[in-house]
Amino acid sequence: MPHWFTLPNLLTLTRLVLVPFVIGDILAGRHLRALELFAIAAATDVLDGAAARRWAQTTQSGAYFDPIADKALLSGAFLALGAARIAPWWFVGVVLGRDLYILAAAGVFLLASSVRKFPPSVWGKISTFVQIVTVVVWMSRDVLELPALALLSSVIIWPCLAFTVWSGLHYTWRGVQLARAH
């Protein structure tokens, strides 16, 4: 069996495979199914890392594909939520802008230095978690139609925005520190 063929990597692959179905269901107004698939995909994000650590199955391919799967799921979900008029476009722009900014900065480092590892920061992980909760709340609002969820969905955007921006600033600070070290 190839070295990359591990349970954690299969969980990451599952997340990637679910992305187009989540997006399609959001756009088609199938909110319950979109929510179910998104919840499964989000759970694989927790399970792949836990399994990799538990059974010492960390791989280079897993370290590469895990953040790609995360970004594909969240970026796809936010874009679909924006297109479905569930999330405001300005907010989708902030989330995607932060991700593109971090990707561009990593690309510059790859081209201009010998740095090849960009481990996630604690603020990046918190931001990802808050973004997942935000997507779940927004999709749940349309499934459950509870007044409390309508209120929560209008409030949760602000902590999500704060963690998204703060994690981008933190990655910038880490990048400056890394540049100075090299």
Sequence ranges of the domains in the chain: 7-181
Architecture of domain 7-181: Up-down Bundle (1.20)
Backbone angles phi, psi at 146, to 5 degrees: -95, 135
**How confident is the model at residue 3, as a pLDDT?**
65
- Residue 26, burial from CB neighbour count under 10 angstroms (0-12, 13-18, 19+): buried
Closest CA to 102 of 126, 52, 68, 79: 68
The residue with tokens 């690309």 is: 107
Q: Encode pLDDT of 27-53 as tens digits.
A: 999 999 999 999 999 999 888 877 777
Q: How large a percentage of the chain has pLDDT more than 90?
A: 56
Distance CA 18, CA 181 (A): 39
The least confident of 60-64, 97-101, 118-122 is 60-64
Secondary structure class of 156 (helix, strand, coil):
coil
